[in-house]
Amino acid sequence: MSLKIYNSLTKKKEEFTPLEKGKVKMYVCGPTVYDEPHIGHLRSAYVFDVIRNYLEYSGYKVTFVRNVTDVDDKIIEKAKEGSNSNLKAAVENVSTACYQQYRKDLQKLGISEPYKEPFATKHIEDMKKIIEVLEQKGFAYESNGDYYFDVEKFQDYGKLSGQKKEEMLQSVRMDTNEKKRNPLDFALWKKAKEDEPAWSGPKGLGMGRPGWHIECSAMSMKYLGESFDIHGGGLDLVFPHHENEIAQSEAATGKPFVKYWIHHGLVTRDGHKMSKSLKNYVTLKKITDTYSDGISLLKLFFLGTHYSAPLDFSESKMKMEQSILKRFQEFFYNVEVKRKEGAVVNQESVDNFRQMFIERMNNDFNTPETITLMHELVSWTYKDWEPTQILDVAEVISEISRNVFGLSFSRPVLTSLSDEEISRYIGQRKQAKKDKNFKLADEIREKLLKEYQIELLDEADGVTRYRKKL
């Protein structure tokens, strides 16, 4: 089965065919850096890192761009909360500090570096050029020092969100100070307010700053071209942000902007979107302070729900992830035991298992089904505990987990007993059985099971083996 992706633009699952064979150009809306990141932001980064990893695992050369919005109304409002009399300096301080924290969190999660990570303030000239082209083509107009995009001039407006104009109007924030021809028209350039960061405007217009939507069009097209393969972001960006990106980009170039649009569901808490305003957010620091192996637990939490669906955070779910992580860690502990006994993999079997994983990931990056397959294969190995089967399954789970999910199920410290000490107990039990002291033999087995979770297996060849109990 070839890779299929749900395309938000066409509202259906489509076979993935990049514009250029063997290469994928991919843009993802990054953070607006006005506050510390929470796990909702991190889900977005992780979702698209997994998608990027899987595309590369599948043999594609991926050019991945993720932007940073470092000038915005939210950043300016945050800067005003401080005591700094220089608003421009305060804006820069806020955006720099928040970006650095975001970057640290991504590094802790093991998120790969993008090919480019453009900052909005470094691409003002690129934005101005697009605005000037839109004005020349009749798609943009100036009003009271601002530039607006005229949505009536773009026939396909609304093709991404699928909304009627009446529905769109309900989502548009109305500002009585704006001089628009149409309430749906959106700002390309905003006239400067006192003390705010500002740049000289398009076509000699006075000082101001770009609108939010034009930033992503300028930065994506600068590094990926006028048409590229994948654009990603959260479901909350479909309208108006991505809808407006399409309109201004295609109006400027006359070409299709993006072939596949991928949107992920939002992280919620008690059914409400995780956000700063509701004060219901959870940070990565909170996760790592609360849980040992917090990074791995968070990744499993993300992987357990399809990227397109909402994901509700709760303590009970994190506890469930702890048991899942422990199960895989115990399995790989037992795999090491088999390796020491000289077991080797069967490459044909490994290839078959790998294909099972690929089929699930090719179904719109279905990580829940992939995790379920991992559980099923682990359970299957424990039925017969056949050495080659165990290593074959471990080989593929390790490969997918490491290369696609950025996960490692390394051997945990689950017991104070060394392999030599366990072998010594096995020897004592063997001697007890030889002496027909079956009570002592049972006590040794019970002690290992209850105190150290070590399960003894008396196999047909007369050898007693051991494993961590699941």
Reported residue count of the chain is 470
CB 462 within 8 A of CB 447: no
Q: What is the pTM assigned to this prediction?
A: 0.89
- DSSP letter, residue 454: E
Question: For the segment 2-23, what is each residue's pLDDT rounded down to a tens digit?
Answer: 999 999 999 999 999 999 999 9
Cα–Cα distances (Å) from 338 to 101, 335, 431, 465, in that order, read 42, 5, 24, 9
Q: Is the pLDDT of residue 25 over 90?
A: yes
Question: For the segment 191-234, what is each residue's pLDDT rounded down to a tens digit?
Answer: 998 889 999 999 878 899 999 999 999 999 999 999 999 999 99
- DSSP letter, residue 233: E
Which H or E element spans position 229?
strand 228-234
CA dihedral 254, 257, 260, 262 (to 10 degrees): -140
What integer is the mean pLDDT of 294-305?
97
Which pLDDT score, from 0 to 100, does residue 151 have?
96
CA dihedral 455, 457, 463, 466 (to 10 degrees): -30
∠ CA 237-45-15, nearest 5°, is 70
Instruction: Look at the alpha carbons of 12, 13, 14, 19 in this order and tell me if their dihedral is positive or negative.
Output: positive
In sequence order, the 6+-apart residues with CB closer than 8 A to the CB of 296 are: 325, 407, 408
Cα–Cα distances (Å) from 176 to 27, 173, 318, in that order, read 34, 10, 46
Domain architecture of the chain: domains with CATH: 4-264 (3.40.50.620), 284-405 (no CATH), 419-468 (no CATH)
Which residue stretches of 14-155 are H helix? Answer: 39-57, 73-80, 87-109, 124-136
